Each structure stands twice: as C-alpha cells, then as structure tokens.
C-alpha cells in the first residue's frame, strides 16, 4: 500500500498539469501528403497552410528517414511542418511508418520475413519486414517514439499520431496478404493472438508516451489465418474487431478511421478494408475520421465523377459525412494535397469544412480561380479546456479530463506495483472468458471433484432470485460466497445465471403495482407444471426491483477476478434464456385491432424491455461480459403470416445489444448436440448460425450442451453405449462448437465427472484455451 501511495503522489505531481492541458480533439479538413514512388516524404506546398478550409496537416514519413542511425535524428522536415502549422494556427498529425520503413540498424537481431512492397517508395521490391510481435522490434520502436514525444509532445499544435508498429507499408493495420505472403506468414508462426497482443502493447505505449495527443488506428482486415494455422477468412474481420476493442479501452485518446474513402462505384468491401460502417458506427462515441482513397485531381474516376474532379471530391466528402443511423458524424476528413491546392476543389472543401464546423464563413461569395490568390485563413478559435473540440467547455470535457486522469492513475499504479500485487495479463486479468465451464445443477454448489479437474476452466452457477433475496432488504449470499472462494483457491472462473420471472421472490410477486399474468404453467424448475403468477416482462415496477437486486449482485461480485460473465435475464420467465412460455395467450395482454398488430405490439414491448435491461447490465457489470441465450423459437407466439419474423426478432435484439455495450455483449445458444450423428441425419439448427456469424465479427460467443438425458442416444454402462456417447460428445464439442469459433463451451457437471468423457473434454479445453 505504501508503494501504491508513493506512486500515486509521484504521478499526481508530475502529470496533473499535462492532463488538465490535454489537447483538443482532431477535427476539420486535414491535408495529407501523397505516397509516391520517388520519395517517402516531403514538405507541404505553402498554399496548404493558407487555405481557409484546412484545419490540420498530416505529415507522412518513414522511421528510417528520421533516425537513419541509432540515436542520430533528422528532425528538419518535422520541425518545418510544426513551425508552419504554428504560424497558421493549424494542427498536426504525425504518420510515422515503421514496418517496411524501419531503419536497417533497428532490424539487427529482429525476426523478419521477406515480402514484396505493394506501393510507395521501393514499390515491387522484396523488403525485409519485422515480424509484428517481435519484442526487440517493438522495444526499439517505442524507444524512438519516446524521442518523438520528448521533442513534440508539448506542442499545442500536435493533436494526433497514427498508431503503428504491427504494420507494413503504411500506418494502416495491414499486412502483406497475397497467397504467397500467407504461406510466408504461416511459415514464421503467425497467429492472430500474437498480432492482437502486439497492438495491445502499442496502445499502452502510445497512451503513456503521448498523453496529450490522440492516437489513430487506420482500419484493415486481419490475415485469414486461424489460431491453429489453417486458412479461415472469418479471422479477417474477427482480428480487426479485436484490435478495435483493445483501442476502445482508451476512449479519451483513441481515434478510428479508414483510409480508403471514395464515391466511385461499389466499395471494395471488407476484403478491401473499407470498414466505413465500423467507423460510422462508433462516431459520436469516440473521435472518428476518413482519409480519401486517392486524389480526385489525379483520379476522378475512382473518386466518383470522371468528367468533373471537383464534383468527384464533393461526392466523396458527402459520402464520408453521411452518418450511420442515429450515430454521430465523423470529426475529420484527410484530403490529399493536390486537391487542397486545386482551385476547382474549393467548393468541395468549403462544404466539408462547414459540415465539420471548422470555418465561420464556409461559403465565400466567390471561389478564387488561381491558387496564388487563395484567401488567407483566419485563425481558428480554440477555447481552453475544450477537449472534444465542440466549440464549448462543458460536462463532456470534464468527463474526458477525469477519464484520462483515471486511466493514467491506473497505468502508473500498475507500473510501480509489483506483479504479486496486481494480476498479470494472461492470468486473472484476462477479461475474455475461455474454455470449458462446468454447468452446475440449479441452486447447488459444485462438486469437490469438479474444482480439481484441470480441464475445467470455470463453473456456471444457476440460481433463483427468490433464494438470493428472500426479503426486500435481506440477501442470502452464502452459497455464492463459498463458490467464489473455492474458485479463487482452485484458479477457476465463475459465470452467473440468476432467474427472475416465475422465480421472483414472493414479496415481489405480492407488490400490487406489478402487473402479472396467471395464464401459463411453469415450464421448468421446482415449480414445473404449476400455474404461478408471472410478472409481465415489460412491467416497469417489476424491472425496477430486478435492477435493484442486480445492482447489489454486481456490487458484491463484479470486481472479483473470478467473475467472467452473466446471463441477461429479467424480461424472461424460468431460465437463463430469452424465453417465455409459448402461446397466443400473450396476445390477450397487449393492444391491437388485429392479430398481426398485437404481435407487433408484443414484439415492441419485449424488445424495449430487453434493450433497457442490457443498458442496465452494461452499466452494472461492464467490463465483464453478459450474454443473451437464444433458442430456435425465441419469440413466444407462433407467427405463420410474417415470414422471417423469428429471425429478424433475434437479429434486432443482437443489434441492440451490440449498440448498447459493444465491448461486453455476447451471445450463446443452449442446446448443443451431436447432430448429424445424433439426432441422426439432422442438419445444424438455424440459430447456430448466429454463433458463427458473430464469432467471425469478434463478439464473445458460447455454447451450452443439451442435458445428458437428451444429448445421448443411450444411457447404460456397457462398452457399446459408452463408445456411442463418446462419439456424440466429440461431434458436439470438437466439430459443432469449435467449428463455430466459440470461446466457451458449457458442459453439464455429470459429463464433467464421467471418466469415460475426460479425454474428449480435455481436448476441447486445450483447443479453446489456444484461441
């Protein structure tokens, strides 16, 4: 504790002033240098700085051009840009490229591989590329960045630096990916985990080295190589999303962009690295922007209008400024220098500058027709303390300042505190659940033998609300407290499933203000078959009591390192699934003139209740995960007249979950079996596809096996039956689950304790832990 206090005081004295003076967010039109085949960098045309619509400049330069020899620096060009920017009240973004741009001296003792350089200086040549995860390479890169930070970090003009390191030809998160390149990557041991971890290290370094700047990630899909070394195209978006998620841990410094904006026909799509909707989807939450694909002056066809370069740029600008749904807009647009100084482009630049809020008079009465007479740019007003550059100092700036301060406190503490005090990466600090979880019988403690199984990574505790909160002001945590202590002792994790609905406490069901229905028999559990009152899933009083209980649950266990994820429950009835008793009786408790109208009203009420509940879970339990468990028929009423209704209902709930809490939301399905072996000849269930699709997009996913009585074709102890059970379980775990790239498989405890199944579950455990 003494070390922590000293560390905090040192941090506070040294860093508080820089936090309070944190730079404003990047915004407006940004001039960027072209990549050419003759040089890696050059000075900007002076007309860039005098253009009234330009707010910033992005200098692109390779590491080897600044530090050709170790600790021998050539700062001239960078100094010149900062000097010009300061004189014209323009901000600066640095795009310093390592990868292929690494100086020769920095490759000594570094693992490298040879690839063809696809564009820029040296295009077509075979060049040595440092492996993105090589520790010596990254260490030297971070040492260089410290020199950059020492020289320019205090400049008010310096707002952004491009995050790079696990990169190649540019600052985009791209790696060589031709068929021959992929063979090379496999031969040097590429794994997505190595790639993602290298980005994790990069973000941590940038955050510490450049505390007053934003660092930007330029999107590109990952390589289509799985953890096991197989070709897997689903790994491309998954790896990209994981890298984004790591950046989102730094919300007050992380900026996201894609560097291929154009309006010239169909987008190149994810295979080409567009990622437009990813950027738009995060606009309003973090700083976002676009870089043009090319210069409209040079290539108007690509940019959208072969007959009018000016209109081509305007079309591309408008495309970039179009928001996604209710999300906010991007904050900046990077435009190539030839378009900045081209007189025919000024209308497009004016439009963009106005939309981005960067000029007071964005539509002059006439646009000058010669570059030599461009109007001198009026200084932009920068308000002290306006951290998010929205033109005013308000609570949003205070939140950014506080969050930045908090993050740096944590970073400083973790730097000074010994590893014995704080958990290390890869141990209990790992937030993403992985492995085999034992599904414990309802309201029971795990078997002592379960805690001893090496192949068991966690336990699933299934409990009823009525047992945990028997009185309005009384809680019974004894069972869970014991489970968490045993998990701590045995080095295992805990996942929670607490069920309200029919199993709400009696004192809740007795509340007169809560609307209830007694139209259904309880489908499962201790009350199976009984007709019991069920609170209407959307009743506000019922949900309020549920959220109050959930808050107490989170207060007690959320911060325990053993706790990993929890089921989203509340608007359901009897288990941890998005599930209610089936039947048209639901249509009697909603309004509507026709059956279809009642169905839509029921859907709206349930959807709103789940969205509200997920918002609560995100607030209460993040950064730990929460999952929605879907069935083949999640909506409780059969809908024969509306094609695709069930599927769209599930997709809408998933979309709401991802929008509400993108870094903590997960899905699972409970009912994993061994088809087509048993049930014989049966095809994969339709809702398994949700698991495949979302796993590929980097969303946390899990499977739960069917109960052993339903999973297996036979139950006897003879050798033939045992062999049959082994075959079915292997199909379920190793093929049906792992082929869909889940992170967790929940297996019933009775199977966990069956010695004849140990080898199969161990094999699945090993595969999951290697993800």
pLDDT at 19: 36
Domain check: are 128 and 270 in the same one?
A: yes
CA distance 743 to 435: 6
Domain check: are 389 and 518 in the same one?
A: no
**Cis link prior to 623 (omega < 30° from 0)?**
yes
| Contact assessment for residue 192 and residue 238, using Cβ atoms and an 8 Å cutoff | yes
Domain check: are 361 and 399 in the same one?
A: no
| Contact assessment for residue 377 and residue 173, using Cβ atoms and an 8 Å cutoff | no
Q: On the CB side of 431, how many CA atoms lie within 13 Å of its CA? A: 17
Structural domain that includes position 340: 26-368
Q: Is residue 388 part of a domain?
A: yes
Query: What DSSP state is assigned to residue 112?
Result: E
CA distance 620 to 602: 27
Q: Is residue 439 part of a domain?
A: yes
Q: Is residue 544 part of a domain?
A: yes
Domain check: are 388 and 262 in the same one?
A: no
Dihedral of the alpha carbons of 204, 210, 215, 220, in degrees to the nearest 10: -50
Q: Is residue 429 part of a domain?
A: no
Domain check: are 34 and 168 in the same one?
A: yes
* Closest alpha carbon to 137 in 211, 203, 204, 63: 63
What CATH number does the domain containing 499 carry?
3.20.20.80
- Count structural domains, the chain: 3
Domain check: are 481 and 595 in the same one?
A: yes
Other CB atoms closer than 10 Å to residue 375's CB: what's the count?
14
Strand-strand pairing, 534-535 and 516-517: antiparallel
For the chain of 771 residues, list the mean pLDDT of each consecutive stretch of 10: 43 37 78 66 89 96 95 95 96 96 96 90 87 94 96 95 96 93 94 94 93 95 90 90 93 92 65 73 92 93 92 94 79 97 96 78 30 36 45 55 51 37 36 95 95 98 97 94 95 98 97 92 93 95 96 96 97 95 92 90 94 95 95 86 80 92 94 95 90 92 96 92 96 95 97 97 95 74
pLDDT at 771: 74
Q: Is residue 375 part of a domain?
A: no
Domain check: are 449 and 527 in the same one?
A: yes
Q: Is residue 683 part of a domain?
A: yes
* Closest alpha carbon to 92 in 31, 178, 18, 177: 31
- Calculate the alpha carbon distances from 606 to 143, 570, 579, 582, 648 in Å: 54, 11, 11, 14, 14
Domain check: are 182 and 193 in the same one?
A: yes
CA distance 264 to 276: 14
pLDDT at 33: 86
* Closest alpha carbon to 650 in 704, 587, 694, 612: 694
Domain check: are 351 and 439 in the same one?
A: no
* Closest alpha carbon to 494 in 746, 691, 742: 746
Q: Is residue 377 part of a domain?
A: no
Domain check: are 192 and 244 in the same one?
A: yes
Domain check: are 364 and 447 in the same one?
A: no
């Amino acid at each position: 504790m003494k070390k922590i206090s000293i560390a905090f005081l040192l941090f506070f004295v040294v860093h508080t002033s820089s936090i309070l003076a944190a730079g404003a967010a990047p915004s407006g039109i940004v001039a960027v240098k072209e990549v050419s085949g003759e040089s890696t960098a050059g000075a900007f045309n002076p007309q860039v700085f005098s253009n009234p619509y330009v707010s910033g400049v992005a200098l692109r330069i390779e590491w080897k051009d600044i530090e050709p020899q170790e600790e021998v620096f050539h700062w001239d060009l960078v100094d010149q840009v900062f000097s010009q920017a300061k004189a014209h009240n323009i901000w600066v973004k640095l795009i310093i490229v390592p990868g292929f741009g690494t100086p020769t001296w920095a490759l000594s003792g570094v693992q490298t591989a040879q690839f063809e350089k696809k564009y820029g200086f040296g295009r077509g040549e075979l060049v040595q590329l440092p492996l993105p995860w090589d520790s010596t390479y990254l260490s030297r890169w971070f040492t260089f960045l410290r020199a950059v930070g020492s020289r320019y970090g205090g400049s008010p003009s310096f707002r952004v630096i491009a995050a790079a390191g696990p990169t190649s030809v540019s600052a985009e998160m791209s790696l060589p990916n031709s068929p021959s390149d992929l063979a090379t990557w496999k031969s040097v041991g590429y794994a997505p985990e190595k790639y993602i971890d290298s980005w994790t290290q990069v973000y941590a370094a940038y955050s510490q080295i450049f505390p007053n700047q934003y660092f930007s990630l330029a999107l590109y899909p990952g390589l289509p190589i799985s953890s096991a070394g197989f070709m897997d195209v689903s790994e491309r978006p998954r790896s990209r999303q994981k890298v984004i998620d790591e950046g989102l841990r730094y919300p007050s410094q992380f900026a996201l962009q894609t560097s291929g904006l154009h309006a010239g026909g169909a987008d190149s799509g994810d295979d080409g690295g567009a990622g437009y909707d990813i950027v738009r989807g995060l606009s309003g939450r973090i700083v976002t922007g676009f870089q043009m694909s090319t210069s409209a002056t040079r290539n108007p066809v690509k940019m959208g209008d072969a007959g009018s370069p000016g209109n081509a740029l305007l079309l591309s600008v408008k495309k970039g400024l179009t928001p996604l749904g209710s999300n906010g807009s991007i904050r900046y647009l990077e435009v190539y220098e030839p378009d900045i100084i081209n007189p025919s482009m000024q209308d497009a630049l004016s439009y963009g500058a106005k939309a981005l809020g960067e000029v007071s008079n964005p539509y002059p009465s006439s646009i000058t027709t010669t570059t030599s007479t461009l109007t001198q740019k009026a200084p932009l007003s920068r308000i002290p303390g306006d951290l998010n550059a929205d033109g005013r100092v308000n609570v949003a700036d205070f939140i950014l300042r506080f969050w930045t301060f908090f993050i740096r406190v944590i970073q400083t503490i973790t730097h000074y505190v010994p590893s014995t005090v704080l958990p290390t990466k890869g141990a209990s600090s790992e937030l993403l659940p992985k492995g085999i979880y034992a599904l414990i019988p309802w309201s029971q403690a795990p078997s002592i033998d379960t805690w001893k199984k090496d192949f068991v990574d966690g336990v699933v505790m299934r409990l009823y609300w009525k047992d945990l909160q028997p009185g309005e002001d009384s809680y019974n945590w004894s069972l869970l407290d014991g489970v968490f202590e045993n998990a701590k002792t045995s080095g295992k994790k805990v996942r929670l499933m607490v069920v309200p609905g029919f199993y709400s406490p009696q004192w809740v069901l007795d509340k007169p203000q809560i609307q209830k229905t007694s139209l259904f028999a309880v489908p499962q559990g201790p009350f199976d078959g009984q007709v019991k009152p069920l609170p209407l899933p959307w009743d506000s009083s019922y949900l309020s009591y549920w959220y109050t209980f959930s808050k107490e649950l989170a207060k007690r266990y959320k911060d325990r390192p053993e706790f990993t994820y929890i089921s989203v429950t509340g608007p359901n009835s009897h288990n941890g699934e998005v599930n209610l008793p089936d039947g048209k009786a639901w249509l009697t408790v909603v309004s509507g003139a026709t059956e279809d109208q009642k169905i839509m009203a029921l859907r709206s009420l349930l959807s709103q209740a789940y969205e509200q509940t997920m918002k609560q879970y995100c607030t209460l339990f993040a950064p730990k995960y929460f999952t929605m468990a879907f069935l083949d028929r999640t909506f409780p009423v059969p809908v024969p007249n509306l094609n695709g209704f069930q599927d769209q209902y599930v997709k809408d709930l998933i979309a709401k979950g991802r929008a509400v809490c993108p870094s903590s939301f997960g899905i699972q399905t409970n009912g994993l079996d061994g088809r087509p072996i048993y049930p014989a000849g049966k095809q994969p269930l339709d809702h398994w596809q949700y698991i495949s699709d979302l796993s590929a997009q980097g969303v946390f996913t899990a499977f739960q096996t069917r109960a052993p009585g339903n999973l297996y074709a036979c139950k006897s102890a003879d050798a033939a039956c045992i062999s049959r059970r082994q075959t079915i379980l292997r199909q379920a775990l190793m093929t049906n689950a792992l082929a869909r790239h889940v992170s967790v498989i929940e297996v019933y405890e009775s199977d966990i304790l069956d010695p004849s199944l140990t080898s199969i579950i161990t094999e699945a455990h090993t595969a999951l832990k290697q993800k």
